[in-house]
Each structure stands twice: as C-alpha cells, then as structure tokens.
A and B are shown apart, each in its own frame.
Chain A
Amino acid sequence: MKIFRLSLFNLRKNRKEALAIIFLTFITVFTLGIVAANLAKVMNVFDECYEATGSVRTLMAFRGETYREEYKDILEDDYNIRDMKLGKLLLAINSGLRDNDGNKLSENFVLLTEDEDLKIDDFVKGDHLSDEEIKNIKHPIWIPQVYEITRGYRPGDTLTIVAGGRDYPFTVAGVYATGVCNNSNVMIKLIVTENDYTLLSGVFEVADFLAFDNDGEFPVMEFAAKGEEKTSEKLTQSLFVLDHYTEKYVETQFPNMFMIMAACLSAITMVAAIFLIRHKIGNDIEDQMQQIGVLESLGYTSKEISQSYVYEYVITVGTGAVIGAIAAVAVTPLMNSTLRSMLGRDVKGAVNVLMVVAVAFVITGLITVFALLKAGAVKKYPPVVAFRRGIRTHHFGRNVLPLTGTGRSINVRLAMKSLVRDARQNIGTGFCIVIASLAFLFCSYSFDIFKNGFDVLMTVMGLEVPDETLTLMNGVDAYEFSEEMAKLPEVEKAIPTYNWKYVHCKGYDGQSYVNIFDDFSLTENLFAVEGRFPQHDNEIAISLRSSRDKDLYVGDSMIVEGDSIEKSYIITGVVGAMSNSGINVFMTCDGYRRICPNERPDGICVYLKDGYDRDEFERKITSIYGASAADMASGSVTDGSLEDRIRQKADEKIALLITNYGVTSVDYAVKIGDQMITGNSSKFVVKDVNSLYDLAESQMGAIADATRTFTFAGAVFVAVVVAVILWIISSSNVRRQRKDLGIMKSMGYSSRDLMKQMAIKSMPVTIIAVIIASALSFPLQSQFWFNLFSADMGVNIPLMIVLDIAMIIYCYIVTYICAGRIRKISVTELMTE
C-alpha cells in the first residue's frame, strides 16, 4: 500500500506527463479499438446483406445473342452448379444519368424488370412510395440502396437515364436492398417496368444472364474456354461476370485501406507510448536515485520500488485505456454511419465490446510488461550506489568531444556532448521519429497526391480519358468523322480509337482491356513508366501489374488472342494502369487489326478547347449527329407540319435501313408540288456520347476526397503525436538534468541558451531519423500504391525534401518550445536544495 502511495505521489508530481501518456494510450486504444471492432463488421456487412436479400453469388451476362444452353450444361457438369436461373437484362456501360438537379453522372448499370430481378435477389424493398402513388407514376424506377445512401436519392425524386442523345426521366418509386450490383465501382442494378424495359431495349445492349450460387471466385476464363470448345463460338468477348468475391473485394477495399491506415497510426502511437514510458522510467530512476537509496536503506526491496514505477504506469495507461475503450464503444453509431456511407449499405449491430476490451487489455498489458522490464533497473542500484547517484555517474571512460575543441558555439558543443552521452536514449527517440516521420511522409504525400481530387488518378488509370468519347454507328468511318469533328470550333483535337475492346493475353486469367490508338503521343492520360508506347503493329505496351505479376519486361514478347487469331507482340513499354484490375494492354490500330482484322475504329476521343462546356458540346453533338437509329425506327409520326412529318418518316426509313440492313449512308429527296424536301443519314452517325471523366469522377471522386481528408487528418495526428513525444522527452530530460541546468544558469547560460542546446541536441537524431524514414518511404509507398492502384504513383522528390525539412524544423521548434520548462528552473532553488 505504501508503494502504491509512492506511485500516486509520483503521478501527482508529474501530472502533465501523466496526462500526456493517458492521451497517447487513449488515442491508441480508441483507434485500435475502433479498427478491431469494425474491421470484421466491414466484411460481415457485405455477407450479411447477401444473405438477407437472397442475392446470388454469381451473375453471368452473355451480351447480345451469345447465350447457348451448352453453357448451362458446363456449369452443371463441370462446376456442379444447380438451381441456375436464366433471365434477361439490359447492359449499360459508362452510361449517363442525371440527378434531381440535372447534374450528369456516368455509371455502369444494368436494367431489368422486377420479375427478372427476383432471379437475382429477393427484391427486398426499403423506403418507397405507396402502391397508389407508384401506380400513378408513368415511369417508375427502383434504385439500389447505395443510391439512397451515397447519392441522396429519395422516393419521388427524378432519375434520368441519358442514352442515344435522349433523356429518359424516371421517378424513383423506392429503394431496395441487394447484395449484388450495389456498387458504383462495379455495377448498379435498376429495376424498371416491362414497358420501360422494352423501350430501353432499343437503346441498351440486351444480355441473357445466368444467376447462380457458387463458392469463392468464379473461374471465368476457364469457363469461357470450355464454352468456346463446346460451342465453337467466341465467348470471351461477350461474357460479363459479376461475382460475390469481386464485388466484396471492390467494396471493402477502401474501407479496409482506411482501417489499416488508422491501425498503423495507432500502432505508431503505441510504440511511442512504450518508448516514452521506458524513457521516463529511466529518467525517473536516475532523478530519484537518492530517494531509492533511502527507501532501500529503510528496508524496501528493489522489487517493491520497481513496482511503484510500474503501478504509476498501470494507473496512467489503464486510465487512458479505459477512456479509449469507452470512447471506441461510444462512437459506434458514428462508425456505423461512416461505414454505411462508405459501403453503401445499412450497417447495424452493436459494437464488438469484447474486441475493444481485448484491445485495451492487450495494450495495457504490453505497456506494463515494457514498464516492468525497464523498472527492473532499480535492482542495479543497491543503497550505497544509489546514494552516490548510481554507478553511471562515475566516469572512467574517454571524454568524448572535450570542450577544448569547441568551435564557434559552446551551445552546439555542449548539445553534441549531451547527445553522445545519451546515445542509448537517442536510439529510442530516433526509432520513434523514424516511424512518426514515415507516417507523416506517407500522409502528407498521399494528401498531395489527392489535393486536386481524383485528377491524379487519371494519370494512372491506364485508360485514355478525353473530354468526350463518341461511339459511332456501324459503318461510320472514324477517320473521316474525326476530321469533321476537329473542324468544330470547340474541338482541340479528335483521335480515332476503338471503344471498349478486350483481348486475351496468353497466361492471363482474365481479359485485358486494350487501348488502341494510331499515335499514342496524341493521348493525354497515358504515361509509360518504362520504355515507350507501341509504334508498330507488332508492338505492345503492358501494365505495371502485368509486368510485375508475370515477370514481363520491355523487350520480352507475348502472345495475344483477339478474334480467334493469336499473334506475338514485342513489349515496348510498361504503363501504370489501375483500371480493369490493372491488366490493360496498349496497341496500335494496325496492331489490333492483326488479331481482329474485321474491326474498324468505332470511337473518337474528343478533346475540347479551354473554356468550352462538356455538357453543351454533348447536346450539340447529339442534336446534329446523335439520333438513335433503333429508337427512330420504332417511332411513329403523329404531329407537326407536313414537312416535319415527311422528314420524320424519312428518318424512320433511314433508321430501319441502318438497323436492319447495315446501310451506312442514305440521301433522300421528296418533291411535293414545287417544294423539294431533302435530307441524309448524317444524324445517325453518333451512337453515344459519354464522358469517361464523369464515370471516373463518379467512381473515384468520393474515394479521392475521403483519402485526402483522412491523410490530412493523419498528418495532423502524427504531428500532434510527435509533439507529445518530444514534449515528454523534453520535460523528462529537463527534470533529470534540473541540477546541471541550474548550475549552468548560475554560470550565465540563459534559458534560451539551454533550450537551444536541447533543441540542437535533438537535431542529429531527428535528421538521421527523417533521412531513414524518407529512404524507407520510397519502397513502402511505392508498394502501397501499387497494391491499391496497380500503378506507380511516383515519388515527388522535391516535395519529400520539403517535407523532410519541414519535419526537422518542426521537431526543432517543438523541442525548443517544450524545453521551455527550463525557464522554471531557479538557480536559488537549486542552491537551497
């Protein structure tokens, strides 16, 4: 009990330091507690939603008319899959939507009717209008929960689908929960009426789908190969598979990233706390050496005395841990709400209190063990040694950095002497600064990457992202039309390309998206990190992930399969590519035609001049070139003047010729009396106008914003932790050296001199630690971003140098300010001791 009172006395004496340790422990337990309690939740929410909504684990869509019964047989026979459901849906890749405010979004989505949806999930309804209200809506649409959570759509809102140059406004009838297709980064599933489905069938690609349950990731390529073998028909290009595994990975990737980052930050705090406590115990023992001697002479054992130090930290750490654990539990509703926003699903359930308590116990235990080990040092000091202030004060060694060699500044010399003297302590300080700097550099660098939103991701997307991408009607000459586009006043340049083409690279599991351009130097978002882009038809550039995963480098060759034709290509470059799981390839148009000889460029990348609005340009292009042939072909003429009706009828006929007979160009002339009405098929040139930029923004914008906020908060957090570390070290050192500092004051050293000495003393350790952290941050950051984005985000060396200098200056200033406790040391107090 007496020992415990001694601990309390020490605590009262060093209240501020105790509070700082409580703060560090609180932060550690709070953050790690949140991570531990919610990490499992992130994974479970997804699975629970699948279970609750009866969602199938795999949705396999066959684009166009490519579905064959044999595929079902293969699934049954080779994969033992039962209870498959066959249905139909409309596939809209990178298609436009408008929200209530008329803002355009780009999304990948599927459209299907309620009956078809019941083959995929149970269509579990959430908030929705009354049946009566829904009956009165002309075009009702059901949206998945993610739209309600992340985009704020409510029942009764207007959601407009933009396709083929037309707006298709729908009224949100309600929200439904689903496991599958509830993620903007993968696919969204929208439910429409039979009539609207039929209407949109002329606009979007129809696909047959098979919905079924299976375990784990579905082997798509293997299945496609079997299908092709059995039917002798091409399947890989038309197969589109969404599985539980992929969707879960995509959906949980970023929440997990944030959790891991938070865990790393709290681990840093924990290491700092452990180090500081060890450091403080060491200083306390040295400072209280004579008291220890007195206690030992009075009969206290060294074990009892060490216990007094340990109790002190059990009390502080325990207090911090309890507060941290309570706070971690208390923020559960907030965490649920945050996770709900990140996952786009309802997150319910109480916090895993057991996990939080376990974290608190483990951290308290861990710190206590380290405290115990350090406090054991009391054993080294029997009473006589303790009275003489420890054997360490008996110097028999070499006088390192004698003052006879003092250069310009005695303060620097004394600081360096002190630095050498406290070498062991400096290793610990250095270690703390290394990990803190590493975290600071990582957070600051990440913040810098995302400071302009998701723009940076455009450079590593591995896709060309022009202002607008035009998809042309069959038979339209992309080269001729791009020249026509280039003449428009808004257009800076227009480059022909192939839209959404996939090839199969031998040895790869999935299909590779292929970027195809005649001249890659005209592109603006594609950058080779090694080598160059292809210039000849036998050349190819590959993604960084392919290069690393498949051990392929510039100069190697690879076999690529297109339209049943395989050709070998020489790798000329490596490109950072985060899209399509990072397995993109890059070929020239000639190169692509070697494996797909029947295909011609069907798209145009349009780059607008500065100051022109994309939406306005889209409207203009749509009005001139963008009528939907399929839509027009099924239309009926009912009103307008005679000329209007004749023109509309003529357009209908042209549309029929284009859609049914593959006609590519039509001119007409109709004479009524003296009036000649003429026209042509020019308005049927552009099938679709969309913006990949909008799609990227819709998929990555929120993530970029969240990352920017999180990393900024992380950098501030680390700066605070560093300040706390330096403050505790400084105050502990000032207390330990109180007598020496007082003596020096009596000699005429001002508080500023002594504070400067303390700050200078910290500099070599800080500089070395920051350099080590910088060196370590290169590979760590590179690997982190590669794992996340399959791309090399590069290292901004000037920024890193600036950050290093900032960190060093920050440490200097903080140490200087923290050493301000020296001001309180009174010489007279020293003399009256």
Chain B
Amino acid sequence: MKPASFDYHRATSVEDATQLLSELEDAKILAGGQSLIPLMNFRLSTPPHLIDISNLPELSEIKVDDRSVTVGAAVTHTTLLKTQRVASELPLLVDAEKLVAHEVIRNRGTVCGSLAHADPAGEMTAVIRVLDGAVRTSSVDGERTIQAVDLFEGPLQSSLKENEVIVEAIFPKLGRNSLSSFREVARRHGDYAIAGAVSVVDYDDARSIASARTAFLSVGPVPILISFDQLLAKTKISDIGHDEIYEIVSSQLNPQADVHASADYRRHLAAELAWESLKACV
C-alpha cells in the first residue's frame, strides 16, 4: 500500500497556502495527516498536490479568552489535551480528547484536521456541535466563519469550499452554571466509538434545568444534536426519567448497521449513553 504520486508544497504562510490552494488543481491541505494519509495509502484519496501547513507558527496557537477556546489549525490533539488552561477553562475539551484515538495518533493528528475530515465518528465533531462552536476559514476570497451546524454535510463531507482552509476552530466556553459529560462505547479505548453521546446542561439560579442538549457520534451521517429543552424545562436533573430520555433519543436516531454493530444496538447504546451523560451533569 503506497500513496499515489503527488507534488508536495510546504506553505510559508496562511496566505501562501490559500494562494496555492486556488492555483493548484484538486490540492489538499496536509496538517497531521492521520486521517488523510490512511485514505491515501488505500488510494481512496489521490490528491495531485498536498499543501503542508503543519509548520506554520501562526496556526500553532491556542487562545483562551472570556468567551471561547480558539485552536489553530496546526495544533495537535496532544497539545490541546496537555494545555493546562484548557483543562481549567473548558474541561469538556480534555474529556473529549482523552477519547480521540490513541496517544500515538494524537501526537500527529490535529483538532482542525479532524473537523475538516468531517467523520461523524470523530469526537471533536460532536463536541463542536454540542457547544455550538464554529471554524474560521481563509481563502483568496477572504475569511469567513462557518457554524458547526453548517459545517458537516455528510460522512467525510464538509461545507468547506475547494479553495478554503480552516485556520482555527472556536469552542465557546460553558457558563458557570453549566455542566458537561462525554460517554462513548468502543471495543478498545481509543478505537472508533460504536456510539457516543456528549451532553451539556445549563442550570438557572434555582438549580433547575434551563437548557439540556446532547450531540451524538457514530449514529448518523453527521454529528446529530438533540435538544431536551422542552421536556426538561424547570426540572431538577435528579427528577428526569430514564425512559423519557431513552424514548426521545431512540425515536430520533436512525443509525446504520455495519460489521461492528447492528442499527438497533447502536440506537440502544446511543439512548443509554445520552441518559448516562445527562445524569453525569449533576
């Protein structure tokens, strides 16, 4: 298994990368390569040009401000996982990163790369969806922001235009009255999840639920978000019932069967994991 031939271009700046993207036909961005290179080794992907952005210092930053954690396109999963400020300001990112593949893959793979790859089994796609985050992109036409809800169009299909590169991902921080939890089931820790659920619960001052939502991975063509706002408004989390959550989730998901799990088992897992992750937000 060897990749097909391609021309390699090491970008010297974001501007250089976008210029190359617009000039070269069918060029692809290379960051960590942990999703792209397996596809190339199988020749499922045969881009004639790769533009390497992994060495750009301007894409290697993690910024934390009052509202969000912003992750540059060359930041690896390991770097995000080991950044102390991220752990204290948005621990959900660390909870999610611990589930992303194995450490050896996290050492190369990038956060933004997994978003651009748009694999619905990817933990970061579900996290950015449940947080209502966004990516900022750049192209020769200028910059734009794509909300997570608009980024994922299907399995491995994003709404990025051919001449666009993600420069950073924006993960909004949770308020002081919010809690989050990530649960997934995989055959081995680090393998692709058979199903997963990441929940965020916002409380009002009376410790009643103001808003509750769960994003799911591996149960649809894109990360799927289910809101429980109507069901749970003004309820105490200790009063929510397993059966209601199970019914809502299982009636709204239509996962596919594959060699790892039947559709029914996936749906069952997703419903139970939603329940577990919501109950963990106490």
A and B, one complex? no
* Chain B residues at the A interface, C-beta cutoff of 8 Å: none
Query: Which residues in A have some Cβ–Cβ distance to B below 8 Å?
Result: none
